[in-house]
């Protein structure tokens, strides 16, 4: 090939283009390798963090556990209308009453037929977080602590509920409602501030009772679960692990009273933990909740035989409910 004057003039430009392309290729290659390395590092850190969290909240030694939260006996895919399921209550004849946090409607779900059999509209839309059925009377709680009470009547689709205001407000953020048959009272747990006053305590959670005879919230909490109590419990039962406060997040999203031993099972989506506490407020057990099993656990209830049900929001998909049989 002979070089013309024109070709000779283009040589420096072509060489520059080749060098630029080579540099660009190397730059893209380095960037790609860095991205892959970063993703691997993030994934590794996430796994280590999750592993550390699992070690922290593994079932505590020296306690008799009743459930294996890693192995549910059945999974129920709930209808799309319950994508944001927020509360459960065992009714009767294998029917579980469900509430979801954007609708003032109660859904009755048959666990044998695996479908909703009845619904009752009781109020306009709102942030409804817990439900409890006592005989034929239903109580639903909003996050601000307001209670709604109505009687079950499957012959109607809409029922008038009476509204009961309590001393709670938005700073307490109520997400759990249960019933203690021995006390004959409703049980409520705060997700945020424990006290009813303006004293700020971001790390403690209060458990309160509601007097069904007076239809009034008892001003003094049954007990308060503090950060120090949780830390001391984990150190005592898992002395080889170290704990920092960031790993002790605990924001209850549900509460239920065990029908056999009377202990309070406090479910927390933030913190991914199921804490078992005596009615006197002593921590008894701690269960890990793996996000891969329960994405966002929001509701808990028990059948009379002790079978436990925990519901999880769907995170853009169908909500679901898991059944856990008691260990023998």
H-helix or E-strand spanning residue 216: strand 216-217
In angstroms, the Cα distances linking 295 to 77, 196, 273, 290 are 13, 31, 12, 8
Does one domain contain both 104 and 213? yes
Hey, what are 19's tokens?
């060098």
Does one domain contain both 38 and 61? no
Q: Is 205 exposed, middle or buried (0-12, 13-18, 19+ CB in 10 A)?
A: buried
Count of domains for the chain: 2
SS3 20: helix
CB 291 within 8 A of CB 272: yes
Give the CATH number for residue 166: 2.120.10.30
Q: How many residues can be counted in the chain?
A: 328
Hey, what are 39's tokens?
């993703």
Does one domain contain both 116 and 18? no
Q: Which DSSP category does 244 fall into?
A: -
Does one domain contain both 165 and 289? yes
DSSP string, 142-197: ETTS-EEEEE--TT-SB-PPEEE--S--TTT-EEEEEEETTTTEEEEEESS--SSS
Does one domain contain both 179 and 318? yes
Does one domain contain both 216 and 113? yes
Instruction: Return the pLDDT at 22.
Output: 56
**Spatial distance between the Cα atoms of 302 and 255, rounded to a whole number of angstroms:** 10
Does one domain contain both 94 and 140? yes
Q: Which among 204, 248, 256, 232 is positioned nearest to 89, based on CA atoms? A: 256
Alpha helices in the chain (DSSP H): 5-56, 227-237
SS3 28: helix
Does one domain contain both 9 and 103? no
Query: Residue 9: CB partners within 8 Å, gap ≥ 6?
Result: none
Instruction: Return the pLDDT at 264.
Output: 98
**Spatial distance between the Cα atoms of 13 and 248, rounded to a whole number of angstroms:** 63
Does one domain contain both 158 and 251? yes
Hey, what are 327's tokens?
């260990």
Does one domain contain both 23 and 136? no
Domain span holding position 43: 1-52
Task: Mark which of 35, 52, 69 sits at the end of a domain.
Answer: 52
Instruction: Return the pLDDT at 11.
Output: 46
Task: Provide block-wise average pLDDT over 10 residues at a time, the chain (328 residues).
Answer: 47 48 56 58 46 48 74 95 96 95 94 97 94 97 96 92 95 96 97 87 92 96 94 79 71 96 95 93 90 92 97 87 94
Instruction: Return the pLDDT at 288.
Output: 81
- For tokens 């390798």, the residue is 33
Instruction: Return the pLDDT at 36.
Output: 60
CA angle 79, 161, 156 (to 5 degrees): 60
Does one domain contain both 69 and 162? yes
Computed on alpha carbons and rounded to an integer, the radius of gyration of the chain in Å comes to 27
Does one domain contain both 20 and 76? no
Instruction: Return the pLDDT at 30.
Output: 61
């Amino acid at each position: 090939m002979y070089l013309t004057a024109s070709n000779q003039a283009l040589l420096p430009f072509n060489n520059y283009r080749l060098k630029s392309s080579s540099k660009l290729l190397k730059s893209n290659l380095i960037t790609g390798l860095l991205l892959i390395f970063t993703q691997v590092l993030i994934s590794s850190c996430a796994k280590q963090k999750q592993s550390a969290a699992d070690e922290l909240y593994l079932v505590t030694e020296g306690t008799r556990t009743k459930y294996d939260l890693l192995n549910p006996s059945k999974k129920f895919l709930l209808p799309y209308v319950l994508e944001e399921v927020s509360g459960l209550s065992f009714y009767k004849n294998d029917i579980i009453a469900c509430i979801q946090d954007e609708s003032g409607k109660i859904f009755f779900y048959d666990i044998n037929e695996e479908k909703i059999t009845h619904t009752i509209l009781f109020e306009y839309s709102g942030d409804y977080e817990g439900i409890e059925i006592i005989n034929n009377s239903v109580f639903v709680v909003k996050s601000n602590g307001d209670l709604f009470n109505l009687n079950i009547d499957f012959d109607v689709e809409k029922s008038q509920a009476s509204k009961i205001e309590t001393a709670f407000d938005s700073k307490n953020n109520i997400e759990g409602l249960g019933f203690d048959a021995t006390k004959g009272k409703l049980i409520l747990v705060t997700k945020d501030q424990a006290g009813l006053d303006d004293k700020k305590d971001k790390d403690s959670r209060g458990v309160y009772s509601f007097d069904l005879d007076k239809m009034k919230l008892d001003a003094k909490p049954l007990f308060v679960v503090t950060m120090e109590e949780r830390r001391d419990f984990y150190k005592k039962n898992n002395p080889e692990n170290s704990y920092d406060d960031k790993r002790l997040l605990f924001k209850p999203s549900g509460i239920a009273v065990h029908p056999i031993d009377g202990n309070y099972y406090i479910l927390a989506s933030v913190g991914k933990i199921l804490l078992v506490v005596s009615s006197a407020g002593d921590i008894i057990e701690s269960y890990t909740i793996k996000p891969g099993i329960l994405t966002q656990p929001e509701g808990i209830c028990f059948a009379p035989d002790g079978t436990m049900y925990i519901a999880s929001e769907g995170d853009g998909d169908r909500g679901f409910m898991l059944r856990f049989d008691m260990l023998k």
